[in-house]
Structure 1
Amino acid sequence: MRIDLHAHSTVSDGTQPPADVVRSAAAAGLDVVALTDHDSTAGWQPAFAAARECGVGLVPGMEVTCHSVQGISVHVLAYLHDPDHPGLLAEIGKARDARLTRAERMVELLAEDYPITWADVNAHTAHGATVGRPHIADALVAAGIVSDRSEAFAHILTARSRYYITHYAPEPARAVELIKQAGGVAVFAHPVASSRGRVVGEEVFREMIDAGLDGVEVDHRDNPEEGKAWLRRLAAENGLLVTGSSDYHGAGKPNRLGENTTSVKVLERILELGTGSAAYLPQRDTKGGYQAQ
């Protein structure tokens, strides 16, 4: 079975609606996909409808945006959590509001040097989506300022740019605690992706493990090989699950569905641990296992 546990739709910073992400997963030959939009579960219902239509397994999830005390960006994947858990909802709501204020201020700064407006950014943001730098990048592309999102992030929207503004987000260990309280499974997304910017030290991993971290996303294109080896040792020493995923964003990134995958054994453990919501798995057989495709 081919299982990809990290994909984004237009509910956050992907370029396809949730149902189309699921249809693309089916076309790519995936058996199971997880929808993990940033700080939102708004895409779950249309994704479930498409999964039933296509016969593709769907694991509902979310990617929680965090900041370490050093100000380093950290993302924690939540699988099978309760989407209505009040504590988690309050925290991601606070973070979403902060991201909106931050995006507006970044556009104000950019407008001093480039022909871009807030209306331009809104034109590239789906209704109800979590507004972020990718939507600003899309506006820059449309204006002919950069050729694609990658160029925008490499130069204009990098954390080293004068246009960059920080925003509130929970600390990683706190996010893990809330995910667990919501009955979810917490997995550290692309933990050593140094090509994206600074990464946290081992002390943050320890804090997250103490808070109940379930796993680490090892097989991801942005984790360097030496980092993957270290993550596998850390996982073995601490009983953590090891996942692999594409981090698909449609046309927003070069990542392709299924370019990295997760084992059936790990998926089964995630299903055992997650109690806040249920997955749709048409391949499941009568004994609770999975049929080969």
Structure 2
Amino acid sequence: MSASVRGPADLHAHSAVSDGTEQPAELVRAAARAGLGTIALTDHDSTAGWEEASQAALEAGIALIPGMELSTRYGHKSVHLLAYLFDPSDRALMDETARIRESRLTRAERIVDNLARDYPLSWDDVLAQTRDGATVGRPHIADALVHLGIVPDRSAAFAGILHPSRGYVMPHYAPDPLTAVALVRAAGGIPVVAHPATRGRAHVLTADYVKSLAGAGLFGLEVEHRENTADGKRRLRELAERFDLAVTGSSDYHGEGKPNQLGENTTAPEVVERIIAEASGWQPVVPENPAASP
């Protein structure tokens, strides 16, 4: 990294702007307390937390890499793309994320309507679990189900009632990964596929498709993530080596929403250096006196 941006670096974390439980400033302060030197804010399809997080990073003495987790769809599979240091005023990318957020909202309303036929759940119950400025989605529905005592926690909600097999949930609009990679690169950003092996090597993107993504500008694969299986991680490393892609590691922290802990997986300093060097859309927020040691 540069002389001022220190490690360890956790490049995947969410605030209440999407489905985390902490405001952007609270997230940044939690990262500093956890001993991180660099944190990336990657809320779903939104940059609304960048300004607050940037100010908090300067005050907490921790470097911030502003980013986003962009929703995409590959066939019938949901694929998430981490995007770092892109221009948040880029019209094409912002129009696409606005379309995704609108689709998320209307889908959430339909899911609640479906659930309300069988459970004592209302839209107001869900809104009560949503922070100001956040796009309502499945995590907020899960929180409402927890609050009402219908399920014990978010994980149980996603494994049970909110699992697609139960029939209450339907997909929302999302571009294909190739389109998303091109949009991020055109906005000066750096794209990395998030946790692409959560169900083992058989469900990893095909080698031919990863080759196409690399050709379109994909920077890397998020390999070290608690939900990637061991077999899947081996396959991801093979693909990264084969197509000259970087390997990243992150916590995918959501505060109280998930068991993930800040810094449980981190990204190598030389990879963060490359991300910063290649990005042309935005700059990391770097305090004069970082709190963490290299």
Normalising to structure 2: TM-score of the pair?
A: 0.94
**Which residue of the other structure, out of 242, 255, 259, is the alignment partner of 2:260?**
255
Is this contact kept in 1: 2:18–2:43, CA < 8 A?
yes
What letter is aligned with 2:277? E
Q: What secondary structure does 2:182 align onto?
A: helix
Asked which structure has the greater RCO (Cα within 8 Å, sep 6+), the reply is 2
Q: Which amino acid aligns with 1:105?
A: R
Aligned-partner Cα distance in 1 for 2:80–2:135: 15
Flag the 1:283–1:244 CA change in 2: closer, same or farther, 3 A.
Answer: farther
The answer as to whether partners of 2:190 and 2:219 remain within 8 angstroms in 1 is yes
The answer to whether residue 38 in structure 2 is matched with residue 66 in structure 1 is: no
Aligned-partner Cα distance in 1 for 2:178–2:137: 23
Structure 1 unaligned runs (5+)? 286-290
Q: Which secondary structure does the structure 1 equivalent of 2:82 belong to? A: strand
- Partners of 1:72 and 1:198 within 8 A in 2: no
How far 1:234 sits from its partner (Å)?
A: 1.2
User: 2:186 aligns to what?
Assistant: 181
Where does residue 241 of structure 1 map in the other structure?
Answer: 246
Percent same amino acid among aligned pairs? 54
Q: Residue in 2 aligned with 1:93?
A: 98
Partner of 1:80: 85
Q: How many residues align?
A: 287
1:210 CA displacement:
2.1
Aligned counterparts of 2:163 and 2:211: Cα–Cα separation in 1: 28
What is the TM-score with the length of structure 1 in the denominator? 0.94
Note the C-alpha offset of 1:75: 0.2
For residues 22-61 of structure 1, give each alpha carbon's deviation from its aligned partner in whole angstroms, at most 9, with x where no partner exists. 0000110000000000000000011011101110110000
SS of equivalent residue, structure 2 residue 172: coil
Indicate whether 1:55 and 2:61 are aligned: yes
- Does the 8 A contact of 2:17 with 2:134 survive in 1? yes
Aligned position for 2:43: 37
Matched, 1:124 2:129: yes
Q: Match of 1:205, as an amino acid?
A: V
In structure 2, the gaps of 5 or more residues are 1-6
Question: Once the two structures are superposed, what CA deviation does each residue of 1:254-284 show, in whole Å capped at 9, x if it has no partner?
Answer: 0000000001100000000111011012379
Which of 33-42 and 210-219 deviates more? 210-219
Query: Does structure 1 retain, via aligned residues, the 8 Å contact 2:210–2:239?
Result: no
Distance 1:79 1:29, change over 3 A: same
The separation in 2 between residues aligned to 1:292 and 1:112, in whole angstroms, is 54
